Chains A and B, each alone.
Chain A
Amino acid sequence: MKDLSRRQLFEKAGRFLILSNAAAAALNSAEPNPYSTADHWWGMTIDIDQCIGCGNCAAACQAENKVPEEFHRTWIERYQVQGDDYQHPQVESPHGGREGFTPLPESAAKSFYVPKLCNHCATSPCVQVCPVGATFESPDGVVLVDESYCVGCRYCVQACPYGTRFIHPEKQVADKCTLCYHRITQGLTTACAEACPTGARKLADLKDPKDPVHEFLRTNTIQVLKPQMATGSKVYYKNLDGAVR
């Protein structure tokens, strides 16, 4: 190495530069399709006619997101409407439906299951009331909580019209459905949709022109929860009964 001529030095330096460039390019291409928040607008579709109340979604959510006992990021409600009294339905959700439901005998009442979760509203009441900016609507349409910044003041818990938020008993910060943000940003579906045996719940990317959500919204009777509150809910229910609150 001591007798390195100028020519050799340039040769070696040139090789080094080319190789280091190649290595850098290889490292960059390690993530082939880096996730871009601008390309997505997430929501969910729920087909009431397909929900059998098995509770797999609620159980899967708990397993995926380490949701504490007796708290629910998603849950299933069983509605029973007696006669035509749709204004006073009987609603039950034992353990959020995680362990399923006791079978209901045939009766005159109308009965059905309604899975619920955060509606990932486009104009979220919870985001509007947060005094510190710890909860927010992400650029790709998911309402998230910044655990390290939340002060646990509970305004958002009170503001959510759907009751989807709670204070985590150990962390003492607001906790809610993240639409499995850690999964959907790497090409997986949500844990609840993954575990749903009938396809009643499906993750929807409203910015993807090939997503079946467009066909679903165009060809079915669609409703969101509490449309009168104009929250911009992005959880779309097919054939939702008017008794559902």
Chain B
Amino acid sequence: MFPVTSEHRRGNNPLTGQASNECDPACAKQARGDKGGSVPDSPLRNGAHLILLLAALLAGIAIFLVVRQAVIPEGFGLYGHYRAGALKDNRMKPVSFAGREVCAGCHFDPDEALRAGKHGKISCETCHGPQSAHAADPASGVPAKPNAQGLCRRCHESDAAKPAHFPQVASVSHSGGAACNSCHEPHKPGFAKIAGERSGKK
């Protein structure tokens, strides 16, 4: 690479010393003007180009705004970078578990009995399953009775991973596979059904 000299800037070839055909823009313009160019330079002609450019820009912005309006859903960005209506959509899902208060609104006695005993803090639907359909229309059907055998074991079968303070039994050695609710009353655990024999011990 050789250094740029004043020869280069003038468009002369420093090696040959001859003027090259190429020259800088100012010189080219001058050359065209000297040779009697048909279109004279006018400020209006350049202005027309600018107006065209501006119109294209404005049209672009307009198209962008129209497309943006069409594509971005209603309420987007109201609370954050999401559609505000999505909050309502999530709230509108149906409820399956009615909640204990709703159950206790009709079934006073079992609720009262349950509250008095060791199972007092357990919600009705923990054992009886989701009952909002029954709560909305009690005539629609009576909830099926849960299978006491499997249900009790699910919580109370001995398991080393369960916390030691939690009451557990090995059902096979405890009852030989007899149904739990033949001795125990699930709403009032203890020995309610054989109270005469054993309640004194507990």
Q: In the complex where A144-B90, A198-B166, A199-B121 touch, is A182 in contact with B95 (Cβ < 8 A)?
A: yes
Residues of B within 8 A of A52 (CB): 155, 159, 162-163, 166
Q: Which of A42-59 contact B (CB under 8 A)?
A: 49-56
Kindly state whether residue A103 has any CB partner on chain B within 8 Å: yes
Task: Say yes or no: A147 contacts B166, CB within 8 Å.
Answer: no
Task: Say yes or no: A146 contacts B158, CB within 8 Å.
Answer: no
Question: Which segment, of B50-58, B62-70, B78-86, faces chain A?
Answer: B78-86
Kindly state whether residue B160 has any CB partner on chain A within 8 Å: yes
How extensive is the interface on chain A, given as a class? 35 or more
Residue ID in chain B nearest A79 by CB atoms: B161
Instruction: Report Cα–Cα, A105/B81, bound state, in Å.
Output: 51
Residues of A within 8 A of B81 (CB): 133, 136
How extensive is the interface on chain B, given as a class? 35 or more
Q: In the complex where A111-B160, A181-B91, A182-B92 touch, is A146 in contact with B86 (Cβ < 8 A)?
A: yes
Task: Say yes or no: A55 contacts B86, CB within 8 Å.
Answer: no
Task: Say yes or no: B155 contacts A37, CB within 8 Å.
Answer: no
Minimum CB–CB distance from B10 to chain A (whole Å) comes to 56
Kindly name the residue among B76, B81, B100, B162 whose own CB sees the greatest number of chain A CB atoms within 10 A. B162
Question: Which segment, of A162-170, A188-196, A203-211, A213-221, faces chain B?
Answer: A188-196
Kindly state whether residue B122 has any CB partner on chain A within 8 Å: yes
Count of A-B residue pairs with CB < 8 Å: 128
Kindly state whether residue B125 has any CB partner on chain A within 8 Å: yes
Kindly name the residue among A49, A52, A60, A181 whose own CB sees the greatest number of chain B CB atoms within 10 A. A52
Q: In the complex where A56-B126, A194-B123 touch, is A182 in contact with B94 (Cβ < 8 A)?
A: yes
Task: Say yes or no: B154 contacts A196, CB within 8 Å.
Answer: no
Q: In the complex where A104-B161, A113-B161, A194-B99 touch, is A149 in contact with B73 (Cβ < 8 A)?
A: yes
Kindly name the residue among A50, A55, A144 whose own CB sees the greatest number of chain B CB atoms within 10 A. A144
Residues of B within 8 A of A54 (CB): 154-155
Bitwise, B96-127 to A at CB < 8 A (1) or not (0) is 11011000000000000000000101110110
Kindly state whether residue A20 has any CB partner on chain B within 8 Å: no
Residues of A within 8 A of B96 (CB): 63-64, 191
Task: Say yes or no: A181 contacts B130, CB within 8 Å.
Answer: no
Q: In the complex where A136-B81, A148-B89, A149-B86 touch, is A78 in contact with B161 (Cβ < 8 A)?
A: yes
Task: Say yes or no: A136 contacts B82, CB within 8 Å.
Answer: yes
Kindly state whether residue B129 has any CB partner on chain A within 8 Å: yes
Task: Say yes or no: A181 contacts B90, CB within 8 Å.
Answer: yes
Kindly state whether residue A21 has any CB partner on chain B within 8 Å: no
Instruction: Report Cα–Cα, A40/B163, bound state, in Å.
Output: 33
Kindly name the residue among B81, B83, B97, B166 whose own CB sees the greatest number of chain A CB atoms within 10 A. B97
Kindly state whether residue A178 has any CB partner on chain B within 8 Å: yes
Task: Say yes or no: B86 contacts A106, CB within 8 Å.
Answer: no
Task: Say yes or no: A137 contacts B80, CB within 8 Å.
Answer: yes
Residues of B within 8 A of A178 (CB): 90, 93
Task: Say yes or no: A37 contacts B130, CB within 8 Å.
Answer: no
Task: Say yes or no: A60 contacts B97, CB within 8 Å.
Answer: yes
Kindly state whether residue A212 has any CB partner on chain B within 8 Å: no
Residues of B within 8 A of A113 (CB): 161-162
Instruction: Report Cα–Cα, A142/B96, bound state, in Å.
Output: 20
Instruction: Report Cα–Cα, A182/B96, bound state, in Å.
Output: 11
Binding site for B on A (CB under 8 A): 35, 37, 49-56, 60, 63-65, 78-80, 100-101, 103-107, 109, 111-113, 133-139, 144-149, 178, 181-183, 185-186, 188-189, 191, 194-199
| 11 pairs, CB–CB < 8 Å, chain A vs chain B | A53-B162, A103-B159, A113-B161, A134-B82, A136-B86, A139-B80, A148-B83, A148-B89, A182-B91, A195-B97, A197-B119
Given A136-B80, A144-B90: 18 more A-B contacts, CB < 8 Å: A52-B159, A54-B155, A60-B125, A64-B97, A78-B161, A80-B161, A103-B157, A103-B159, A106-B160, A107-B160, A109-B160, A133-B83, A136-B81, A181-B90, A182-B90, A183-B95, A197-B122, A197-B126
Nearest first, the 9 A-B pairs at minimum CB distance are: A146-B86, A136-B82, A111-B161, A182-B93, A103-B159, A133-B81, A104-B160, A181-B90, A64-B96
